[in-house]
Amino acid sequence: MKKILLTGGTGYIGSHTAVELIREGFEVVIADDLSNSNIDVLDNIQEISGTRPSFVRLDLRDKKGCQALFAQHAPEAIIHFAAKKAVGESVHQPLLYYDVNLNSLLNLLEQSEKYPVKGIVFSSSCTVYGQPEILPVTELTPFQAAESPYGNTKQICEEILHDNCRSNPNLNAISLRYFNPAGAHPSALIGELPLGVPANLVPFITQTAAGIREELKVFGDDYPTPDGTAIRDYIHVVDLALAHVVAVKRLLENKQKNNYEFFNIGTGKGYSVLEVIRAFEKASGQTLAYRVVERRAGDIVQIYADTSFANSELGWKAERGLEEMMDSAWKWQLKLKK
């Protein structure tokens, strides 16, 4: 049984990926500092999958802690989720984002070279493209200047991986450039549960509908888009989790064409903020209170993926649509209220 280290594995995407890896027969070790997640997630992963992953509470900036983690578990591959990820927060706290996001990766790579780690799947983001000049974005779309410190950390982390793979032919890495994850596991046992005020649209929608938030703020309706609101490519979190399973198998089975690869992981379709709100109202039967406010610092106008390369090269494709995302997110929110 091959051992996979999931950093940030009790988080939103990490927990869903843990479930899918266990179902595929992998042994999962989670390292997480629980700064934006809850230890109870382990119980729910176990309830869904029938197996409880090993868990180490660790801030990856802790070098000695990283050394102990690898000495104890010696994973065959790593999926690196652990990072700060709120665009708006990064604008106000850039040093925190550079510290956490860069140093955690550097420490992981340093330890990886001391152990027979086959490779690392890196949790990247479509923010690496900045505000692209041409849509949809392909993997060959050039990076524009990042619109936020968060986006810049993802650009820098990809550069670190690329440079390290170039200098060390034994290192293998795949960056998955996510678009906008949404939805929850169909069991409603795991989903997106940000601590504090959500930075992402969908949990803010569900919390507003559940009466936890007074109203939903729509950041700007004067963008050059059909309805004036920003457009994103939303992908169901289960589809995203399955992309990680495919990517880590590619590393372990030596199927890479180069020792550093990168793929767009989205649906290929963009939805505006208002379209997402309407899809939620249709899926849930709720009417949502929202108010348009000023644009949010760091947000881009629109972005959506060309996923044809990931579809053909990885043999992976997003299968779940926007209404399924909204329906599962609402069922997860209702479960939380009980």
- As a dihedral over the C-alpha atoms of residue 165, residue 159, residue 134, residue 244, rounded to 10 degrees, the angle is 60
Catalytic residue among 150, 223, 260, 271: 150
Whole-number Å distance between alpha carbons of 4 and 118? 10
Report the DSSP pairing between strands 3-7 and 27-32.
parallel
Distances (CA, A) of 291 to 63, 274, 277, 335: 45, 11, 12, 26
- 310 close to 247: Cβ distance less than 8 angstroms: no
> Which has the closest alpha carbon to 190: 41, 330, 53, 50?
41
Whole-number Å distance between alpha carbons of 336 and 338? 6
Tokens of 198: 């959500």
Q: Is 97 a catalytic residue?
A: no
- 259 close to 169: Cβ distance less than 8 angstroms: yes
Q: What are the catalytic residues?
A: 150
